[in-house]
Every structure is written in C-alpha cells, then in structure tokens.
Amino acid sequence: MAVMEIRKAGDKILKELAVPVDKIDRKIRNLLNDMAETMYAADGVGLAAPQVGVSRRLVVIDVGDGLIELINPVIVAKEGCESGTEGCLSVPGMCGEVERYATVTVEAINRSGKKIQINGSGLLARALQHEIDHLDGILFIELAKTMRKG
C-alpha cells in the first residue's frame, strides 16, 4: 500500500467525468487499498479516485463507522434537504456551506464484485454525495453558498 498525491483544485482531472470500472482485478483492489491509506494519512473522511489522479468511478469513505469501498456508485434514492459545512482534501484550508439531500441510498459494487446498497443520513449522506460529485467532475466549491478559510 502507498500514500498517493492528492490532486488540488485546478487540476484538470478533477473536472472530468470518471470512467466506470468494468473489471475488478488486482490493480483495482490495490488502488482501493492505496486510496484508503491516502485518505487516512490526510485525516479525510472520503476520497474519490480522480483526487489521486485516476479517472475511475471508485470511492472510499470512513465517517467513523469503518471503511466503505464503492465501485461505480450511483445514488438511487434521495430525500430531504439540509445545509452543512464541507471541506475537501483537494481544496485545503477552505470550507463552505453546501445544501445536500438529508438521506440517500447508493448502489455500487464492492471489491468482490457483489452489488451492495448503502443507506446514509447525516455525515454519511453528505460524504456519499460529495465523493460521487467528484466522479462527475464537480467540486464542493461550485455548490457552496458561502466559503471561508477553515
């Protein structure tokens, strides 16, 4: 496992639509391992593959309840609305108020190729939406109502 360089706002890969994963092999599993190690080393709660320079639809999240690895995640249900403060490892030193769905259901594939479903509310819902946005080339700073150093 290795800690990877986290790409910063302004890097063109962060604005691209990430490519779906069609085959889960050792390379993809190793990338998930490296992404998790990178996220933990940076004290983050989520990381998407484009943030480490790989245009693939992969996300790792840990909001304190253990590691979640998602391959080709898609939000399939959403409800409610709440505003909250977000930051991003690709936008260091800044945070902003972002309105998100209060609860979401995400379908994805795990590292074994099994279809999984994650239901999230609170911080997990926010992290899921934030990381999936990265896969679509969207940074939280584009959605924030207000920004501040943080």
Is 88 marked as binding a ligand?
Answer: yes
52 φ, ψ (degrees, to nearest 5): -110, 20
Q: Which residues are catalytic?
A: 131
Cα-based distances in Å from 31 to 66, 85, 103: 18, 29, 28
134 marked among binding-site residues: yes
The CB density around residue 49, as the number of other CB atoms within 10 Å, is 27
Rounded CA-CA distance 54/37 in Å is 15
Tell whether residue 100 is among the known ligand binding residues.
Answer: no
Q: Which residues contact 20 (CB under 8 A, 6 or more apart)?
A: 56, 57, 72
> Which one-letter DSSP state was computed for residue 65?
S
Q: What are the residues whose beta carbons fall under 8 Å from the beta carbon of 25, sequence distance 6 or more?
A: none
- Residue ranges for the binding site? 88, 130, 134
- Residue ranges for the binding site for Fe cation? 88, 130, 134
